[in-house]
């Protein structure tokens, strides 16, 4: 598998193919053919949307590079051996049975929504629905009007598409149609930061890629149908973000949106003005108070990348880990094959030793009951907008990889019964060895958000903890006490980071004027399967009444070092969540 990843294996001159096929009428239903997909002809699937509900995984959107009849795979004669076209249908895959990528079988579901690359997608878990918004027209197609679509899964591997009527048409119609936004969600609100608008994403834009970088954080409330566009004036240099990642993390009273990776550019972007963002300092947003924060990171940070994929998973001891796979790196000049994990609240990065395959413009999602496996689907290792101008055929059959997040290694097969996710050994030893003592909080406010009410037991093993603990009416105190006193270091680190950041900014992105395809992609998250809250009839969304929000309290016992040190804790969640996994204010990964 390693050999196949060699950049020398440039089998396919896909530049100018992935992204400019002959598909001219992307969203006209009448002209839409069936996919002639299948294991035999699969070469690559770029820009997919991947969502899991209950026992099924759904794959939608993007473009398929397929092998046509009977020619050798090392042909460079494009168009003879290979074809590139939009995925015409939505695919589904069973997650309740074991498979390998040799045996996996997709089912094809007819699709009436526009065929697009790199869509923004949000899942409304309680009603088995995912929404798609934005995205880029495939090939030479013109982009559709600004529309929000939803796919309503039927729970048996099928489902139906419908357009969502807009109750908040005034605000919706003001929005541009972006691609490459960093998106995530809470249980009931979807968020998309930045992105780009080009002639291939928005009919009102003439400028070709890279078009305009979009400032603002757009939100869409699934229940009220309300759209907002929140100012990002304080975010990074321009308030813009291209092809980055976002995760909702369950810390603080309201949960926080964490933004990482990707690039920034001035609004009137040029290929040379796009600069990939540093990992040294990550940005956080409190969706309830509307406050922005930053926090420094430590450990083995990934190379600067765009178009990676990420998933988030909660550890058994109240850490929250974010796994980041692949992405294209200007810094390293390649598409990355590595998986990194960022653990919160430690803000510490680790790298997996297990070798993956180079991949960008793919999507990831947590699968299996134990939420221990990350499924990566699709992606390319070259093509327009990436460092290499050509992509190789996917070294993974059908573009599927399974990563065991506890073992931190790539697996040969999917196991629906894999045991529960536990924190990887190197991450837990960092906490056990007192790593939290060295976290440099950028402010007391951020520290409070991450440690107040926390029941993390790691790092609290110092011998002084029993005394510090004596007044803890809320358990976060224990860590808070240990972490104090490191503020001086913050200044030094900040200066170091600022210098590093300035150096990085100088780095010009790509020398060549290769036309840059927009992208990003999002891995994702999702769902649980208790249908409720509102009608699942497609197309009736906007008539829904807003449901009153009741805070949800959860509680438990944090294990102390000694039995006598156990601490009871409660945690108030911002939104009602499906009762199957009440501990996350947000996304559900349960099956």
Ligand X SMILES: *[C@@H]1O[C@H](CO)[C@@H](O)[C@H](O)[C@H]1NC(C)=O
Phi, psi of 197 (to 5 degrees): -120, 135
Number of amino acids touching ligand X (CB under 6 A):
52
Q: What six digits make up the tokens of 129? A: 């629905």
* Nearest distance, CB of residue 503 and ligand X, angstroms: 29
Closest to ligand X by CB, 279 or 589: 589
Asked whether position 261 contacts ligand X by CB under 6 A, the answer is: no
140 versus 317: smaller Cβ distance to ligand X: 317
Shortest distance in whole angstroms from residue 294 CB to ligand X: 17
From residue 582, how far is each of 115, 122, 317, 399, 455 by CA, in Å? 35, 19, 15, 33, 16
CB nearer to ligand X: pick between 85 and 278: 85
User: Using the rule CB under 6 A, is 408 a contact of ligand X?
Assistant: no
Decide whether 382 or 395 has the Cβ nearer to ligand X: 395
Q: Of the listed pieces 173-181, 382-390, 505-513, 574-582, which binds ligand X according to CB under 6 A?
A: 173-181
> φ, ψ for residue 200 (rounded to 5)?
-95, 0
Nearer to ligand X, 341 or 497 (CB): 341
Which residue number, 336 or 457, has a Cβ lying nearer to ligand X?
457
Footprint of ligand X on residues 438-477 (CB under 6 A)? Answer: 448-449, 452-453, 457, 463, 474
Looking at beta carbons only, is 68 or 142 nearer to ligand X? Answer: 68
Our separate counts of H helices and E strands in the chain read: 6, 40
Q: Which stretch binds ligand X (CB under 6 A): 209-217, 289-297, 518-526, 582-590?
A: 209-217
Place of tokens 């599927």: 400
**One of 125, 146, 152, 428 touching ligand X (CB under 6 A):** 428
Q: Which stretch binds ligand X (CB under 6 A): 84-92, 153-161, 258-266, 532-540?
A: 84-92
* Residue corresponding to tokens 């931190």: 408
Tell me, residue by residue from 376 to 405, as one string, x for binding to ligand X by CB under 6 A and - for no binding.
Answer: --------------------xx--xxx---
Strand, helix or coil for residue 144:
coil
CB atoms near residue 316 (< 10 Å): 11
- Say whether 505 sits in a helix, a strand or coil: helix
**Count of C-beta atoms within a 10 Å radius of residue 14:** 27
For ligand X, the binding residues in 123-142 under the rule CB under 6 A are: none
Q: Which of helix, strand or coil describes residue 124? A: strand
> What residues from 56 to 75 belong to the interface with ligand X (CB under 6 A)?
64, 68-69, 72, 74-75
Is 409 an interacting residue with respect to ligand X (CB under 6 A)? Answer: no
Is residue 320 close enough to count as binding ligand X by CB under 6 A?
Answer: no
Site map 174..203 versus ligand X, x via CB under 6 A: -xx-x-------------------------
For the record, the structure tokens of 161 come out as: 């598409």
Q: Indicate the SS3 state at residue 365.
A: strand
Nearest to 482 by CA among 466, 495, 504: 466
What is the nearest approach in angstroms of ligand X to the Cβ of residue 87? 5
Q: Least distance (Å) from ligand X to the CB of residue 455?
A: 9
Smallest gap from residue 579 Cβ to ligand X (A): 22
Q: Which is nearer to ligand X, 32 or 509 (CB)?
A: 32
> Per CB under 6 A, which of residues 20..59 are in contact with ligand X?
32-33, 35-37, 41
Alpha carbon distances (Å) from 533 to 124, 255, 550: 10, 22, 13
By C-beta, is 126 or 453 nearer to ligand X? 453
> Which string of DSSP letters, residue by residue, matches 548-587?
PP--EEEEEEE--SSGGG-EEEEEEESS---TTSTT-SS-
**Min. distance of Cβ 68 from ligand X in angstroms?**
6
Can you read off the two tokens belonging to residue 377? Answer: 């689907």
Q: Is residue 578 close enough to count as binding ligand X by CB under 6 A?
A: no
Hey, what are 584's tokens? 């996350």
Shorter beta-carbon distance to ligand X: residue 411 or 493: 411
3-state secondary structure of 213: strand
CA distance 573 to 579: 12
> Which pair of structure tokens corresponds to residue 218?
């757009």
- Take residue 434 and report the two structure tokens written for it: 């007192």
What are the E-state strand segments in 368-453? 373-377, 400-404, 409-411, 413-414
Rounded Cα–Cα distance for residues 427 and 445 (Å):
25
Phi-psi region of 177 (alpha: psi -120 to 50; beta: other; left: phi over 0): beta
Beta-strand ranges (E) seen in 194-291 are: 196-197, 212-213, 217-221, 227-230, 245-249, 256-260, 263-264, 275-276, 281-285
* Binding mask of the shown chain, residues 471 to 510, with x at each position contacting ligand X by CB under 6 A: ---x------------------------------------
Assess 308 for contact with ligand X (CB under 6 A).
no
Smallest distance, Å, CB 534 to ligand X?
26
The Cα–Cα gap between 422 and 411 comes to 16
Count CA atoms within 13 Å of residue 71 on its CB side.
15
Q: Which residue is nearest to ligand X (CB)?
A: 33
In angstroms, give the least distance from the CB of 416 to ligand X.
6
Instruction: Using CB under 6 A, list all residues that contact ligand X.
Output: 1, 32-33, 35-37, 41, 64, 68-69, 72, 74-75, 85, 87-88, 98, 100-101, 175-176, 178, 214-216, 218, 229, 252-253, 316-317, 396-397, 400-402, 411-413, 416-417, 423, 428, 432, 448-449, 452-453, 457, 463, 474, 559
């Amino acid at each position: 598998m390693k050999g196949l990843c060699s950049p020398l294996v440039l089998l396919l001159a896909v530049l100018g193919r992935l992204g400019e096929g002959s598909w001219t009428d992307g969203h006209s239903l009448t002209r839409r053919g069936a996919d002639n997909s299948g294991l035999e002809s699969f070469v690559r699937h770029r820009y997919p949307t991947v969502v899991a509900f209950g026992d099924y995984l759904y794959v939608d959107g993007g473009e398929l590079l397929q092998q046509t009849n009977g020619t050798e795979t090392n042909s460079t004669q494009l168009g003879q051996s290979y074809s590139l076209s939009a995925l015409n249908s939505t695919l589904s895959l069973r997650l309740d049975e074991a498979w390998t990528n040799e045996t996996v079988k997709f089912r094809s579901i007819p699709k009436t929504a526009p065929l697009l690359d790199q869509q923004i997608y949000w899942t409304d878990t309680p009603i088995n629905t995912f929404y798609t918004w934005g995205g880029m027209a495939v090939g030479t197609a013109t982009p559709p009007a600004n529309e929000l679509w939803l796919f309503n899964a039927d729970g048996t591997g099928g489902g139906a598409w419908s357009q969502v009527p807009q109750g908040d048409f005034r605000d919706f119609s003001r929005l541009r149609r972006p691609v490459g936004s960093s998106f995530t969600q809470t249980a009931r609100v979807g968020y998309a930061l930045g992105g780009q608008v080009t002639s291939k994403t928005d009919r009102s834009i003439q400028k070709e890629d890279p078009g305009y970088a979009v400032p603002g954080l757009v939100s869409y409330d699934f229940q009220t149908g309300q759209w907002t566009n929140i100012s990002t004036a304080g975010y990074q240099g321009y308030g813009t973000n291209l092809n980055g990642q976002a995760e909702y993390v369950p810390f603080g009273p309201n949960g926080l949106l964490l933004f990482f990776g990707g690039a920034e550019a001035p609004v009137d972007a040029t290929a040379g003005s796009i600069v990939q963002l540093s990992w040294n300092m990550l940005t956080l947003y409190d969706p309830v108070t509307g406050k922005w924060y930053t926090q420094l990171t430590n450990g083995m940070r990934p190379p600067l990348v765009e178009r990676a994929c990420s998933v988030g998973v909660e550890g058994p001891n109240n850490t929250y880990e974010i796994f980041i796979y692949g992405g294209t790196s200007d810094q390293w000049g390649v598409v990355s094959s590595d998986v990194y994990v960022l653990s919160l609240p430690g803000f510490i990065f680790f790298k997996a030793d297990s070798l993956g395959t180079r991949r960008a413009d793919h999507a990831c999602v947590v699968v299996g009951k134990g939420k221990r496996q990350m499924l990566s689907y699709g992606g390319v290792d070259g093509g327009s907008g990436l460092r290499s101008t050509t992509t190789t055929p996917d070294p993974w059959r059908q573009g599927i990889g399974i990563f065991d997040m506890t073992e931190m290694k790539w697996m040969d097969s999917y196991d629906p019964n894999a045991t529960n996710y536990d924190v990887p050994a190197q991450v837990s030893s960092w906490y056990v060895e007192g790593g939290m003592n060295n976290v440099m909080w950028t402010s007391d406010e951020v520290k409070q958000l991450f440690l107040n009410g926390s029941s993390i037991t790691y790092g609290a093993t110092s011998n002084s903890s029993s005394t510090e603990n004596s007044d803890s009416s809320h358990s976060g105190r224990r860590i808070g006490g240990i972490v104090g006193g490191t503020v001086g270091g913050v200044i030094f680190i900040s200066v170091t980071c600022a210098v590093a950041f300035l150096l990085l900014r100088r780095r010009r992105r790509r020398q060549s004027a290769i036309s840059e395809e927009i992208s990003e992609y999002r891995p994702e998250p999702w769902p649980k399967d208790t249908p409720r809250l509102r009608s699942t009839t497609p197309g009736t969304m906007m008539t829904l009444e807003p449901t009153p929000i009741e805070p949800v309290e959860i509680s438990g016992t944090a294990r102390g070092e000694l039995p006598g040190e156990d601490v009871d804790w409660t945690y108030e969640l911002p939104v009602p969540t499906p009762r199957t996994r009440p501990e996350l204010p947000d996304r559900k990964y349960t099956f």
